[in-house]
Amino acid sequence: MKTNDIGSFQRAYEKTYPILIRVSYNVVGDMDIAEDLCQEAFIRFYKREIPFPNLNEAKYWLIRVVKNLSLNYQKRKVREYKALEKVYNEPKRPQESGEGELLKKETNHLVRQALEKLPEKFRMVLVLKEYGQLNYKEIGKILRISEGNVKVRVFRAREQLEKLLKQEEVYVP
Amino acid sequence: MCPDREVLSAYLDGEVDIKWAKEIQKHLSECQSCSEYLGSLKKTRSLLSRAGAVPEEESRRRSWAAIQEQLEDVEPSFFRRRFQLPAPLAAAAAALLLFFSGAFIYNMNPGRQPVMVSAPAVMEAPVAASISAEDMLRVLSLLESAYTESQVVMFELPTDSVFELQGEPQMIQAVDYDREDQ
């Protein structure tokens, strides 16, 4: 499929954008930045002159680009992140009041904080698994590792995350 | 016997062979420890899902508009690239046009008779245009006057289209390693 054909471009966009924005947001933790990075990925996709054999290969390429852009951004900002104990730029949602909602927000914040504390290779497989709706084989293609390696990393990521959540005493409804 | 926790993690993701999945399902119905572990994995998944949710539809529309705006700057340059001949190809086309055709050059300055300069349609080796000294002087005078006078110069192709190449071009001679005289 040609990346500069409007029909193919739109099909790729519709199919992959939801995955890309979820993955990017859960790496960088900022909705505006995540959108910028996803847009950058699609601009690069459009400019790419080598066509893809099919839509799935295009999807894997886009996810790989967004993953790299997001990780690079996050590394640049990590010092500021730690110093300011930054609160995530929450996606814009209708405001609800009440203790329950506050607890939910706090829980969400703690979960994302725990996710960020994971080593990069564990965090990435978990983000791709939980937010990318990808199977082990697809994750392996994107990260260029074996399926077996994906399986082990997902398991270890979950183990570590659970330990971190217990430390934070995250409320589980 | 309980399966490895790594296997239970893969089972949660639907990444276990169907035969083993049935065995695990049966085991879970009998083993509280494994059942609790799987339950904790599901809770963690649920927490991650809630914490990482984004307004996808709204974001998708916003980003599409932004991408369209950016591509409007990109598209014109791409459009221009489609209609440009690569420089070597353009140069080769121009050289062929001058090289293999007989040409008549007219000086269309009012009040002066047209100057006819012709080159033969048949080229003999070594490959070069054949032109008389008198005609060459006329060409040079035309070129000289082009700097001082406004002129229209026209190249007219010969009416007959018999083009014959005689003799072997020097380039082919130079690279022909099988030739006995080399």
What was the pLDDT predicted at A119?
A: 93
For an interface test with B, the pick among A15, A126, A130, A152 (most B C-beta atoms closer than 10 Å) comes out as A130
Number of H helices, E strands in chain A: 7, 0
pLDDT tens, position by position, B120-154: 444 444 444 566 777 787 777 776 665 555 556 66
Q: Which of B6, B41, B67 to mutate to test the interface with A (most CBs of A within 10 A)?
A: B67
- How far apart CA B54 and CA A91 sit, in angstroms, is 6
d(CA B25, CA B27): 5
What are the tokens at B51? 């914490």
Task: Kindly report, residue by residue over A36-72, the tens digit of the pLDDT.
Answer: 999 999 999 998 878 889 999 999 999 999 999 999 9
Shortest CA gap A79–chain B (Å): 22
User: Closest Cα of chain B to A46: distance in Å?
Assistant: 8
**Nearest chain B residue (CA) to A108:** B51
Single out the residue of A26, A32, A99, A31 nearest to residue A67, CA to CA: A26
Q: Which of residues 84-103 of A touch B (CB under 8 A)?
A: 91-93
Please name the residues in contact with B84: beta carbons below 8 A apart, sequence gap of 6 or more: none
Residues of chain B above pLDDT 90, percent? 36
Say if the Cβ atoms of A31 and B67 lie within 8 Å: no
Parallel, antiparallel, or unpaired: how do β-strands B123-124 and B153-156 relate?
unpaired
Buried residues in B45-70 as b, exposed as e (16+ CB within 10 A): bebbeebbebeeeebbebbbebbeee
Tokens 């006057």, located at residue: B145
Q: Do B51 and A165 make contact, defined as CB atoms within 8 angstroms?
A: no
DSSP state of A137: H
8 A C-beta contact, residue A43 and residue B71: yes
Rounded CA-CA distance A172/B39 in Å is: 12
- Record: contact B47-A22, CB cut-off 8 A: no
Query: 3-state SS of chain B?
Result: CCCCHHHHHHHHCCCCCHHHHHHHHHHHCCCHHHHHHHHHHHHHHHHHHHHCCCCHHHHHHHHHHHHHHHHHHHHHHHHHHHCCCCHHHHHHHHHHHHHHCCCEEEECCCCCCCCCCCCCCCEECCCCCCCCHHHHHHHHHHHHHHCCCCCCEEEECCCCCCCCEECCCHHHHHHCCCCCCC
Task: Give A51's DSSP letter.
Answer: P
Q: Could you tell me which chain B residue has the CA closest to the CA of A170? A: B47
- Is B67 within 8 Å of A42 when comparing Cβ atoms? yes
* In chain A, % of residues over pLDDT 90: 57
| Structure confidence at residue B174 (pLDDT) | 53
**In whole angstroms, what is the distance from residue A80 CA to residue A86 CA?**
8
Closest Cα in chain A to B60: A17
Dump pLDDT digits (tens) for B145-160. Answer: 655 555 566 666 766 6
Cβ density class A127-150: b for 16+ within 10 Å, e for less? bbbbbbebebebbbbbbebeeebb
- List, for residues A85-105, the tens digit of each pLDDT value: 555 555 655 455 566 666 677
CB spacing of B59 vs A126 below 8 angstroms: no
pLDDT at A16 over 60: yes
Note whether B9 contacts A93, CB cutoff 8 Å: no
Render pLDDT for B44-76 as a digit per residue (tens, 0 to 9). Answer: 999 999 999 999 999 999 999 999 888 887 665
Nearest CA distance, B55 vs chain A (angstrom): 7
Residue to substitute from A9, A17, A160, A172, interface B, most B β-carbons within 10 A: A17
B64–A13 C-beta distance less than 8 A: yes
- Helices A147-168/A136-143 angle, 10° precision: 100
Return the closest-CA partner of residue A158 out of A112, A125, A109, A113: A125
- Say how many CB pairs under 8 Å bridge A and B: 104
Tokens for B93? Answer: 């086309």
How far, CA to CA in Å, does B22 sit from each of A44, A57, A96, B38, B158?
A: 45, 33, 43, 15, 86
For the entire predicted model, the pTM comes to: 0.64
pLDDT of the residue at A77:
80
